[in-house]
Amino acid sequence: MKPIRFAIIFGALVFSLVLSAGALTFDDLIGAYICKRTETTPTGVIRYDEVEVYETDGTVTSYIFSDGVFIQAIKGSLELTETGRFSASFPGGDITLHGNHLEVTAQFPEVGTTVHIEGHRSDKLPHWLR
């Protein structure tokens, strides 16, 4: 009897989460995120530290660091679909936001590269920039 009760409760919980999950908007993303960036390329894997800044108009600025040394800034504009997919000057990817935790995956098939970024929203400088 307990397994059936658990399955019913678990199913109801999952169903309610699916119904309450709204589309991701730029208002949800506004802010700065302290992140880890992983680029998987045909020649190997490269890891960086990153600060991502999202603005209400879809502008995203990525400040990329290696061992606390600034490497480059990348600025772009994103468009979000109602499913949380985004498009820009590349084919697309996914953005998920769970509370203050951000996860971004972008594919660049023309160069065989995937960029994966995970981070958290913060109003403080990361420890590697202090």
For the domain 24-125, what is the CATH code?
2.40.128.20
> Would you say residue 45 has pLDDT above 90?
yes
Reported pTM = 0.74
Asked which of 27-31, 81-85, 93-97, 98-102 is least confident by mean pLDDT, the reply is 81-85
pLDDT at 1 over 60: no
DSSP string, 11-57: HHHHHHHHHH-PPP-HHHH-EEEEEEEEEEETTEEEEEEEEEEE-TT
Domain ranges for the chain: 24-125
